[in-house]
């Protein structure tokens, strides 16, 4: 895919929800476009209220920095080159896993997906399901 449309966001959200149901963890899923504008959002029944903002901020973080949020975590630790990054952008930068940039076939970042509601590993697994749909469309 080359851009993130509402139709695209719906497909990514559906894939993420399917994975969340499979692992039995209610999630919030956010999809943003290349300008970090929210295109689609979904909160499953019983998903944590705090996960609404976290999912949206993971999508924002990954699209705006062109990095997955697990990598952001790694480079923002004490002693690393981007230590303190999580305190920028009015606190919107998330420094733990669950957000991925969405890249077109040329490797250009055209959006992001963020998932929150479970452990970091669960969030990453659910977000990866959305990325897989984007990359294989």
CB 29 within 8 A of CB 42: yes
Q: How many domains does the chain have?
A: 1
Residues 6+ apart with CB under 8 A from 65: 72, 93
* Predicted model pTM: 0.96
- Side-chain half-sphere exposure of 82, counting CA atoms within 13 A: 16
The residues of the chain scoring below 70 in pLDDT are: 1
Any domain includes 91? yes
**Cα 115–Cα 116–Cα 119 angle in degrees, nearest 5:** 115
Q: The domain that contains 47 carries what CATH number? A: 3.30.450.150
First to last CA, the chain: 6
Any domain includes 78? yes
Which burial class, exposed, middle or buried, applies to 92 when counting CB atoms under 10 A from its CB (0-12, 13-18, 19+)? middle
What domain range is 90 assigned to? 6-135
Any domain includes 20? yes
Any domain includes 58? yes
Any domain includes 82? yes
The residue assigned the tokens 């139709």 is 7
Any domain includes 102? yes
Any domain includes 1? no
| Nearest of 112, 131, 3 to residue 56 by alpha carbon | 112
Phi, psi of 30 (to 5 degrees): -125, 145
pLDDT, residue 2, reads: 79
Any domain includes 74? yes
Strand 99-103: give its sheet, edge to edge.
Answer: 38-43, 28-33, 109-116, 99-103
């Amino acid at each position: 895919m080359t851009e993130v449309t509402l139709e695209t966001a719906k497909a990514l959200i559906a894939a993420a929800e399917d994975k969340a149901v499979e692992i039995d963890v209610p999630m919030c899923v956010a999809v943003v476009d290349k300008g970090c504008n929210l295109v689609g959002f979904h909160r499953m029944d019983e998903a944590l209220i705090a996960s609404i903002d976290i999912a949206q901020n993971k999508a924002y973080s990954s699209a705006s920095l062109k990095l997955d949020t697990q990598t952001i975590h790694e480079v923002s630790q004490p002693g690393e080159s981007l230590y303190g990054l999580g305190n920028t952008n009015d606190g919107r930068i998330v420094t733990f896993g669950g957000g991925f940039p969405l890249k077109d076939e040329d490797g250009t970042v055209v959006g992001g997906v963020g998932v929150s509601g479970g452990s970091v590993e669960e969030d990453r697994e659910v977000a990866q399901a959305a990325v897989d749909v984007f990359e294989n469309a």
